[in-house]
Homo-oligomer: A and B are copies of this chain.
């Protein structure tokens, strides 16, 4: 435990950490807040990413393994009062542990031979974006790209909704969508727009075999989808079929169906689970 307990929300260190709730400060310092034991545990799996830890006395008891692990890795652990934690936390009922982490995103150029990728374009709700990131991770994706017109993945709600997945796979941030598509295609991926107005039905597409090899999906805005020029830059627009009376699916749900249908096709084809092309 580094030094004394922080009891004042006016402490410069606390104010400095608190500012990371704002995007402009995150951008300047290249750091963000990971809140709750699950996110902190995932962050600590690569200790170099974690700058410091804040914990309440109660949370130290409940998460002794986390706190001991951080200390053993040389990460400063600061004890704070519940009042200070409430100020730092972005949840109504804080779980008592927050890590200040260095940004984890990688340059687009490092995203090369992906088998399955998700590109978020104009996705604005951080909860949706975090859920897509978590689902892409679960479906075995190799990369997730947050384009310059999408929400910041380091937004606290997005970090929480990702349930640790922000730390699991390469994430690219703030690139133009067309650059992302070029990069993915130049490394052999077919790029499909997930688009409720698409002519091609997902299940029909899967049956033709186009989802068997390297695939990148582009997901658009929650309300209005993707700009025409983005769709035009893909290899095609594919819609999740609506078999009942619903008008549409929500973004995270549609993404889950697209990503998992692709993962199944890729594995059915290759058997071993490695990309065949």
Contacts and interface: CB of A to CB of B under 8 A. Distances in A.
Contacts of A241: 263
A163 B260 contact: no
A12 interface: no
Q: How large is the interface on A (under 10, 10 to 19, 20 to 34, 35 or more residues)?
A: 35 or more
A198 interface: no
A169 interface: yes
B245 A131 contact: no
Contact of A246 (B165, B250, B252): B165
Interface stretch (A87-95, A134-142, A145-153): A134-142
Contacts of A131: 250, 253
A260 B241 CA distance: 9
A9 interface: no
Interface in A91-150: 131, 134-141
A164 interface: yes
A240 interface: yes
A136 B246 CA distance: 9
A82 interface: no
B267 A138 contact: no
In this complex, the member of A240, A244, A245, A248 whose beta carbon has the largest number of chain B beta carbons within 10 angstroms is A244
